[in-house]
Amino acid sequence: MVKRVAIILAAGISSRMKTLVPKVLHEVCGRPMLAYVLDACRDAGVDRIYVIIGHGGEQVQQRFSGADDIVWVEQAEQLGTAHAVLCCKEQLADFDGQTLVLCGDGPLIRAKALQSLIEKYESGDYAAVLATAVLDEPAGYGRIIRDSNGNIEAIVEHNDCTGQQLKIKEVNPSYYLFDNKVLFEALAEVKCDNAKGEYYITDTVEIILSKGLKAAAVVAVEPEEAMGANDRRQLSIIGRIMQQRIQERLMAEGVTIVDPANTWIDSRAEIGADTIIEPFSYIQGKVKIGKACRIGPFAYLIDGTILKDGAVVDPSEILRQAENVKSCTEAER
């Protein structure tokens, strides 16, 4: 029985990316941004995932064609986040359970934050719970408005904030969990009377509260996890953060990375304990490296490489491979 579903917003066009590639397919450490969001949902116990697609939707479907837990939903016209979620109304009309709503361009999301949402939701009679972050520089994010008792009253988008509200540092990174039926009832009441003329899902919080139902906001998102990739600069920053996560995980598992700043490892790589990665090594794709290996310096391992325990890939080995290629080429001539 399906208890929890997720709706992932992945239909937007990123003008600031200056790209023909669907935004959610831009890669971070070897994988599309959307892949990380899907993984976080699965790790948090989501049974079915509804992905809203629009611009380049066929490319997105093709990239994830092997996933049998995804339902693809088209948003033909982008009229805002509330409108995007409403595109799932038919598919979820009879669903009586929990619905997560997330953005597909936030690859730094972690299942831990989603689990915090779920725990809060299940701890009381809540109709909606959202996870928030506290940022030193909150520009561009919707602000969390709380009453004198600390209870959430509303979310106000940056462009609609007053001067006083702009000083608030608690922001909305778009991690939501709703009672599904309450969500779609509230979405039907959302208006587009805002600076952008769009239908915002954030407005559902006020609507839900106005009906006497309970909503909560929990500070559960680390500042770095709140970052989305709106342009190439942010994409590169996210890539550096993700690379640090990958390397920290591998080092915790017993891998030595001599010079992390001058090493790049794909998120899909598997590396055994006691392996040493020397500086200026680049490990791309689904590489499998055994235990007690020595890689580099100046090693380049391509997708599909498999190395047994104790293997050595150093400059002399790379040169030998290059000489073998050269010899074969000369022989063909």
**What span, in angstroms and rounded, lies between the C-alpha atoms of 177 and 218?**
11
**What span, in angstroms and rounded, lies between the C-alpha atoms of 179 and 55?**
29
CA 57 from centroid of its chain's CA atoms:
18
**What span, in angstroms and rounded, lies between the C-alpha atoms of 23 and 213?**
36
- Nearby residues of 276 by Cβ (< 8 Å), 6 or more positions away: 255, 256, 258, 293, 294, 295
Q: Is the N-terminal amide bond of 138 cis, ω within 30° of 0?
A: no
Specify which residues 156 forms β-bridges with. Answer: 143
Of the residues 4, 16, 48, 294, only one is catalytic, namely 16
Q: Are strands 31-32 and 27-28 parallel, antiparallel or unpaired?
A: antiparallel
Rounded to 10°, the helix 180-187/203-210 angle is 100
**What span, in angstroms and rounded, lies between the C-alpha atoms of 318 and 298?**
9
249 is catalytic: no
**What span, in angstroms and rounded, lies between the C-alpha atoms of 319 and 160?**
60
User: Could you give the residue numbers annotated as active site?
Assistant: 16
